[in-house]
Amino acid sequence: MNTKAEPTHPRDRGRIAGISSGLLSSFLLGWSPILGKFAYRANVTPVTLAALRTLVAALFLWIIYLLFWRRRLILRWPDVFNCLLVGMFNGIGSLFYYNGLSRLDASRASLLGALYPLWVVLFLSASGQTIHRLTLLRLAISLVGAVLVTSPWMMNSLTDYLGVMLMLAYAVLNGWYLVMGQWVLADVPSSSATLYILTGMALTVSVVRIAGGEAMTPISPAGWGAIVALGLTTAFSRLAMFFSLEKLGGVQTAILNLMELAVSLTLAFIFLDERLAWYQWCGAILLLGGSVFARLDVESGAAPPSSFNPMDR
């Protein structure tokens, strides 16, 4: 009897690496609402936070690339333009996110922001991509977990509905951003795309910040600490996310990123003194389960091909 394990196909290894990167991205993204709340406690405004954290992330990556990865700076001008365009959409989405976060607690904001995989599925389905049943099952399990873990039926009359609309707008733009990112990564390495997409984000939010005419008030050390921490998690999470997009495609990456909701709720419990009911913990388990099923997608080949380009349809 031959007990020697068969070698893993290179494509499967790439998908497994994509899953690992997607989970790492989710963990880092899960810090966003927590660090955002810390910044608000230090009297940093939402637009200033969105602008400065993106500038920190982009500046950090430019320094790293100039020192160690200069070859990855070289792209064709059309590819650079496409990356900047994707960054523009993500920059606008981040403005919606941080303004919505300032009006809602971290739990509610995380729930509404976690709806973006629905839009990824809708956008890709509309463009002609086949969505497999296993993918839809994982999406359903994850979204049920998202609903349970944040319990929208517990919202009271003090809910800021402008904040709700801002987070829903963020979910739509984030879904489209992932679809566009998948399209760009069909021709551009993820490491190169990350730098230029973050640069596009930084330019977009900076222009909005300047055009808004908001006075630049001094920021306390606590405020700068939250901004720098958020900038660094943004940089590393984007590197991991775009590597995952390159290997798995938009739908799988979006579902894996739902893990950030469980991370955010756990951190909110630790740092913001938010409490979870038993059914919310059940929802967190469902979120974890939906991500674990990613391995089944690898084995069944349900993950969309990384070369899929929605603009070809």
- The HSE-up count of residue 289 (CA atoms within 13 Å, CB side) is 15
Residue 188 carries which DSSP code?
Answer: S
Can you read off the two tokens belonging to residue 147? 């609903």
The model's confidence at residue 31, banded by pLDDT at 50, 70 and 90, is very high
Question: What's the CA gap between 14 and 250, in Å, rounded?
Answer: 15
CA neighbor of 39 nearest in space, from 262, 266, 234, 212: 234
pLDDT at 7 over 50: no
Which residues, in sequence order, are CB contacts of 12 under 8 Å at separation 6+?
298, 299
- What pLDDT is stored for residue 229 in this prediction? 96
DSSP state of 6: P
**Burial tier of 310 (Cβ tally within 10 Å: 0-12, 13-18, 19+):** middle
Longest dimension (CA), the chain: 75
pLDDT in tens, 139-180: 777 778 767 766 666 655 445 678 878 988 998 888 887 788
pLDDT for 20 equals: 81
Between CA 256 and CA 260 the distance in angstroms is 8
pLDDT digits (tens, 9 = 90+) for 82-138: 999 989 988 999 999 999 999 888 877 887 777 777 777 777 777 676 667 776 777
How many whole angstroms separate alpha carbon 146 and alpha carbon 135? 16
pLDDT tens digits, one per residue of 190-248: 788 889 999 999 999 999 999 987 777 889 999 999 999 999 999 998 888 777 776 77
Residue 18 pLDDT level (bands cut at 50, 70, 90)? confident
Give pLDDT, residue 251.
Answer: 61
pLDDT at 122: 73
Residues in the chain: 313
What is the domain partition of the chain in residue ranges?
Answer: 21-307
**Buried/exposed 234-264: b ≥16 CB within 10 Å, e otherwise:** bbbbbbbbbbbbbbbbbbbbbbbbbbbbbbb
Prediction pTM value: 0.76
